[in-house]
Structure 1
Amino acid sequence: MKLEELNADDEFRLQKHRDQIAGHLEGSAVYHDLSPNMEVVKVILNNNWVDVTETWRLQSLGVALGDALHGVMGIQ
């Protein structure tokens, strides 16, 4: 599988998902600097902020998980 650089539209969409997650955690030490970490994913799941019917939020959770994996393991 060939990986390609993200284009401007992809970057914009990812940022919208990150903004959605950050909105839930505003003022929280967990996401104080918007750095990717597994604690963000844990907080989202523990607080039931995502329902199986909420496609946008599920996609945002996926972005947060991807950011966390990148931050913890360096996965691109």
Structure 2
Amino acid sequence: MWFDSANFHGPSLRLAMETVDPGKVMMGSDYPYFQDDKYTRAVGYVRDSGLSETLVEAVLSTNAMRFYAS
């Protein structure tokens, strides 16, 4: 099962990454509901969540690339 990160709450994202396989969490935008400032906020909060740089990269890029390659 895959999960998205669209919640804007760093502690919730960190808990999700501790609870499920962090390789199964990817950036979520909830498009078309998140547009403009909300869309960039959906990315920015992942960067500011307190996750390691490796996990931030996984959520924002690496995990989606693996998902679409499979």
Superposition TM-score, scaled by structure 1 size: 0.29
Q: Which has the higher helix share?
A: 1
Higher Rg: 1
Q: RCO (CA 8 Å, sep 6+): is it higher in 1 or 2?
A: 2
Q: Which has the higher strand share?
A: 2
Superposition TM-score, scaled by structure 2 size: 0.31
